[in-house]
Structure 1
Amino acid sequence: MGIARTVSTTRRIVGIPVMEVAPAGRDPRGPVLWIPPLGGDKERYTDQLNGLAQRGFLAVGIDPRRHGERADLPPDRLFELVMNRFRATMWPILGGTVLDAMAVIDEELSAHRIDGPVLAGGVSMGGDIAIALAGIDPRVTRVAAIASTPDWTRPGMTLIGRPGQVIDQGEATSGGRWLRDHLDPLAHPDRFRRELAIRLDVGAADTHVPAEAAHRFAALLADGPPAPQIAVVDHPGLDHPDLCRDPQVLGGALSWLTGPS
């Protein structure tokens, strides 16, 4: 058999730039949102979106707030700003993009006349967004997150490449604090007590997004009922950049997310 053909489209959904990759000539099985890390854009995982579409899914990449077509700073400048004013800068990006992702799901299900299931995932910041999305949108039934956390406060977070330097996260803005209070998964664990499966790939040597919160989240939700299925996959020796870039970790997470062909 040859490789299944796909059709790629870039458009805006209520002002949100998205990249859609769909199987050619047939109805998609359901949408899969794959969200990039800090500094990434909707095209970051084009190859993976194509692979998802070849498996029959409607694959959707999103430009997070302040990223891609929505950028107000170059990626390196945005990264520097986030590291210097983490809560004031990152929390509005996280929370705003979670709400954007819900709006994208609304439109994709309506436009393609499909019911789902809805799958979501991402790397680092993108995975943070996907986890939080599952907490407020029950249409999301499966989440795969790499080098991500359910705790937006990231206790003990250090600079990338400097494991001994803990980041001063600063103060949140009023709007950012509201978003964190309402959307942070560890602040609302009961929202995840439903039919839901989550895979969290974490690095044992990752001090930028410490794995502790993923294990804490899984232990907290194990005390159901109902209890979601949460698997924390530890990767010994991998720090944050290595985990984010590892093709085997990415491939394994995507295979788990979509299940058998």
Structure 2
Amino acid sequence: MDRSIAFASRTVGGVPLLLAFPQAGDAPHPAVLWFHGFGVDKEVHRKELEQLARAGFLGVGVDAVGHGARRLPDLDARQAAPHEQALRTMIGLAARTADEIPAVVRALADEGLADAERVGVVGVSMGGYVVYRAVLVEPSIRAAVAILGSPEWPDGDSPHRHLEGFRRTALLSITAERDENVPPAAARELHQRLAAADPEPGHRHVELAGAVHLMSEQHWTQAMDETLRWLERHLRPTSSC
């Protein structure tokens, strides 16, 4: 009989989280932190958190800085600003969100909820930007999936400048061929550079043919299938998958 996944809202170190608990197995579990897009919050990804929990992971939805339970009062105006201005706002919030990850991982591990040796991160759009920085700031991350994000930022300490930081994490980038919001070229180039530096298949780039930023259900299903297989492979290497 299929049972419902148990959800719990928690605040850890000032960061609002939505936890989805696996139905089987003893804690600590391999944990996957999930980061949403610009202007929304962790609640929009309950379905994906449930998928993670059913696969045996502790699903951890995170409200990004300035979003959800800590939403900025002028976030709508910031999002509606001219493109370059809105992009810089988004990247600033993404960077601050990524910088919170080490404290969140330590707190979940200290409570016995998460296995600090098996941590993954997944992010969509703005969340994808979070993932590219997260890999550089949290060495315990073993698997990372950036969906519709970019490692190349217009200014500041852009993740694409730190190639060595990506070598310790299994990185999957999923981009959309016809994405005008976040063109796939930067992720494609990062993976080309990673492959040239290290021919071992520890990284993967999937470009969804014909997909746009607001992708179809079919493309999203493909992206999730790729994501779950990647997490299974790198967070549970003894799995039969």
Q: Which residue of 2 aligns with 1:138?
A: 139
Q: Equivalent residue for 1:191? A: 165
CA deviation map 1:28-74 (0-9, x unaligned): 42110110011121111111112211222111001101110111236
1:32-71 to 2 correspondences below 5 Å: 32-71=32-71
User: Which residue number in structure 1 is paired with residue 175 of structure 2?
Assistant: 202
Deviation at 1:90, TM superposition (A): 2.1
**How many residues get paired?**
232
Shift of 1:239: 1.7
Measure how far apart 1:75 and its partner are.
5.7
Describe how 1:1-261 pairs up with structure 2 within 5 A: 2-24=1-23, 26-73=26-73, 76-81=76-81, 83=83, 85-86=85-86, 88-112=88-112, 114-153=115-154, 180-181=156-157, 184-194=158-168, 196-225=169-198, 229-242=202-215, 246-259=219-232
CA distance in 2 between partners of 1:198 and 1:190 (Å): 13
Relative to structure 1, the CA distance from residue 14 to residue 245 in structure 2 (aligned partners, 3 Å threshold; closer, same or farther) is farther
SS at match of 2:79: helix
What is the letter of the counterpart of residue 163 of structure 2? P
Task: Indicate if the aligned counterparts of 2:80 and 2:86 stay in contact, CA closer than 8 A.
Answer: no
Q: Deviation per CA, 1:78-101, whole angstroms, max 9, x where unpaired? A: 421373513541232011000112
> Separation in 2 of the partners of 1:82 and 1:11?
35
1:43 maps to amino acid: E
Q: State, as a whole percentage, how many aligned pairs show the same letter.
A: 26
TM-score by length of 2: 0.86
Counterpart Cα distance in 2 of 1:208 and 1:33: 24
Deviates more, 1:76-85 or 1:60-69: 76-85
SS at match of 1:11: strand
Q: Deviations over 1:140-166 (max 9, x none)?
A: 11111211111122xxxxxxxxxxxxx
Secondary structure of the 1:12 match is strand
How far apart in 2 are the matches of 1:69 and 1:237? Answer: 35
Counterpart of 1:115, as a letter, is A
Q: CA 1:69 to 1:83, structure 2 compared with 1: closer, same or farther past 3 Å?
A: farther
Provide the C-alpha distance between the structure 2 equivalents of 1:82 and 1:125, rounded to a whole number of angstroms.
17
Q: Retained in 2: the 8 A contact 1:39–1:78? A: no
